[in-house]
Amino acid sequence: MAKNWAIAVGINQYDYLQPLNYAKRDAELIQQFLRTEAGFEKIFFFSDDSPDIGGKSTRPTRANLRRVFLELFNQPFMGAGDNFWFFFSGHGMRHAERDYLMPLDGNPADIEETAIPINFVTERLRRCGADNVVLILDACRSLGTRAGEGIGRQTAEEARQQGVISIFSCSPQEYSYEIEALQQGAFTTALLEGLGVRGQCATVERLNQHLNFRVPEIVRQHKSARQTPYIIAEPVNKSHLILVPRYATLADIATLKIDAYQAEVNRNLDLAEQLWIRVLAAASGNDRDPIEAIKRIERLRWERPQQPLPQPISTAEQSTKGTSTVERNFLKTFRFETVTVDATGNITNRRNCEAKYFEEDLGNGVTLEMVQIPGGTFMMGSPEGDGYSNEKPQHEVKVPGFFMGKYPITQAQYQAVMGGNIFQKIIGNNNNPSRFKGEKRPVENVSWDDAVEFCKKLSDKTGREYRLPSEAEWEYACRANTKTPFYFGETITPELVNYNGEYPYGAAPKGKNRGETTNVGIFPANPFGLCDMCGNVYEWCQDVYNENYQDAPEDGSAWLTGKDNNIKLLRGGSWFINAWYCRSASRLRLTRESRDNYVGFRVVAVAVA
């Protein structure tokens, strides 16, 4: 049976820093949740007045906390399938490019000698031997004692290197709010909701989605301010780990199984065993697959003890952040031609390219092609002197690798996933809302919520997580390393894009206006191998619409906060719009319930079997 241990620290009264109101209560509630709902059997609790344990003080002074880290984590005492969580609620500080937790006696005038470096904490936590270590920090509490950037950046990088799942209450330059009306911190309120029966966010991925929505909502309601939590979970399969097994869905377990199979086929037997043990725990022992897999792994170890494991992939070799060797080996390759045009629309260059992809079988001969998009950095938006104000300021964004639909979702794909009731089949509709009918045409007349529901059903059907792209992912994938207004170059023509050719861009001549959608894939792809990113139908993104990019995320994630969650983002232009609105940087906003015959969507995925 898996071990579940934790340390919870909550500090209200500081010797040298302003007191906090609810940090202690936050830690108490976390302790209570872990014990009663998450099944943790051992929790070390430190607060202003916590009782001694075995004659030793549990007041969260620097000496007491360091003693625990040095003594408890001196040698491994946990193993595969075990969990160790560390929760800290109190003050944190950044000093000399390092992140520190401030213990009860931490002195901001002497940080190096009185505070605790967070990288020391993560390094000691990793020594416990558990394959799942979770670090939860609500430590940006004091704007009055904090100059410039708060903790986060260094800790996030350490988390990536150590493989520690790290959950931060706010971004480095933000404040983590305590809410008097709730008698709690906003972050801990949302965290407990998400992990508990209200949210049932069993996986890291789902918890991240919940926190990104709920924390800003709570802060807006009570403070009219901004607080943006975030989670670091690398490698990518860490986001599939099940934090609270009692709330795991069949889709959660299926995704974890895929990761386990991948590790096993790749002969990473230690990782495979860890993941299968987690599948077994999530299924409460009622699944034969992990039992048989663990036996199979033991046989593989016995039969081929000398078989070498694959060598680690260098940064230069990684075309996609978090993509495993087995994923790359099972991907297929397709070849395509992309073109470049000059300012008048004349083709000046043709290039033969290739990209990796995988196919999802949706049944009845319908497939979904998902193209591998390599991670990278790009300048998002339009430079000064170009575009609209809502496309500014142009800013650098680092986007992790992902997979994106080669085409907008077609009507055949939509029907294969969404199905249809008996009445719909009798009248020949079969759950196809599109005005311009055609199996290979993009589905349109779909709302943002329709698109999200499609992603949910597709995830349930395949056992893999699908979602709408973030706006940053969409523009990054559309540009495909180009910097011109369009991925074809300085302009477009109706021979390359389905738009209203009567209204050209720049020096391009007028052309035809088709007045309807066209089959996907009939125009040249962009340099990543994606088709119809310009024109045909607008495509929904995850993001809430914001008037500009001030304070926009720079890590490729969706911007889920804004003035009105009812207003969502679309990208790409459409069959009836001017060429101007098909630019890579162009943005459109609509209410989430809008259904129009020029609006569709495409999907992204972060893992592949």
Residue 429's pLDDT is 47
Report the alpha-carbon distance of residue 609 to residue 256 in Å, rounded: 11
Closest CA to 546 of 355, 394, 389: 389
- CA gap 191, 157 in Å, rounded: 22
Write out the H or E segment, with its range, that includes residue 579: none
Q: Evaluate if residue 428 carries a pLDDT over 70.
A: no
| pLDDT tens digit sequence for 200-244 | 998 998 999 999 999 999 999 999 899 999 888 866 567 888 888
The DSSP bridge partners found for residue 600 are 539
Is the pLDDT confidence value at 586 over 90?
yes
Mean pLDDT across the chain? 87
Q: How far is CA 163 from CA 133, 135, 271, 440, 452, in A?
A: 8, 11, 13, 42, 30
Across the range 352-373, mean pLDDT stands at 93
For 413-420, which contacts have Cβ atoms below 8 Å and span 24 or more sequence positions? Answer: 413/362, 413/366, 413/368, 413/443, 414/443, 414/446, 414/454, 416/362, 416/363, 416/364, 416/366, 417/362, 417/454, 417/457, 417/458, 417/461, 418/453, 418/454, 418/457
The domain ranges of the chain are 4-245, 250-303, 327-605
Alpha carbon of 104 to those of 114, 236, 392, 596: distances in Å? 10, 36, 44, 58
> What is the Cα 211 distance to its own chain's centre?
12
pLDDT in tens, 297-330: 877 766 543 333 233 333 333 333 334 333 444 6
Residue 389 has pLDDT above 50, yes or no: yes
- Supply the pLDDT for residue 285: 66
Q: Which CATH architecture has domain 4-245?
A: 3-Layer(aba) Sandwich (3.40)
Q: What is the pLDDT of residue 236?
A: 59
DSSP strands (E only) in 237-319: none
- When pLDDT is cut at 50, 70 and 90, the band that residue 149 belongs to is low
pLDDT in tens, 54-77: 788 999 999 999 999 999 998 889
DSSP string, 301-322: HHH-TTPPPPPPPPTTT-SSTT
CA–CA gap between residue 311 and residue 323 (Å, rounded) = 14
Q: What local confidence, expressed as pLDDT, does residue 32 receive?
A: 96
CA distance 406 to 603: 9
DSSP string of 23-55, one letter each residue: HHHHHHHHHHHHHHTS--SEEEEEETTPPPBTT
Taking only the tens place, the pLDDT of each residue in 202-214 is 899 899 999 999 9
CB-CB contact of 22 with 9 (8 Å): no
| DSSP reduced 3-state for 216 | helix
| Cβ(93)–Cβ(41) below 8 Å | no
In what order do the strands lie in the sheet containing 42-47?
42-47, 4-10, 83-89, 132-138, 165-168, 230-232
**Same CATH fold assignment for domains 4-245 and 327-605:** no
Per-residue pLDDT tens digits for 394-417 = 999 999 999 999 999 999 999 999
Task: Give phi and psi for 56, each to the nearest 5.
Answer: -110, 140
Q: What is the pTM of this model?
A: 0.51
**Arch. (CATH architecture) of 327-605:** Alpha-Beta Complex (3.90)
> Between these two residues, 369 and 199, which has the higher pLDDT value?
369
Is residue 385 pLDDT above 80, yes or no?
Answer: yes
Cα–Cα distance between 584 and 386 in angstroms, integer? 12
Residue 426 has pLDDT above 50, yes or no: no
Burial class of residue 314 (count of CB atoms within 10 Å of its CB; 0-12, 13-18, 19+): exposed
Residue-wise pLDDT for 528-556, tens only, equals 999 999 999 999 999 999 999 999 999 99
With CA atoms as reference, report the closest residue to 111 among 127, 125, 91.
91
Residue 330's pLDDT is 64
At 605, the pLDDT band (50, 70, 90 cuts) reads very high
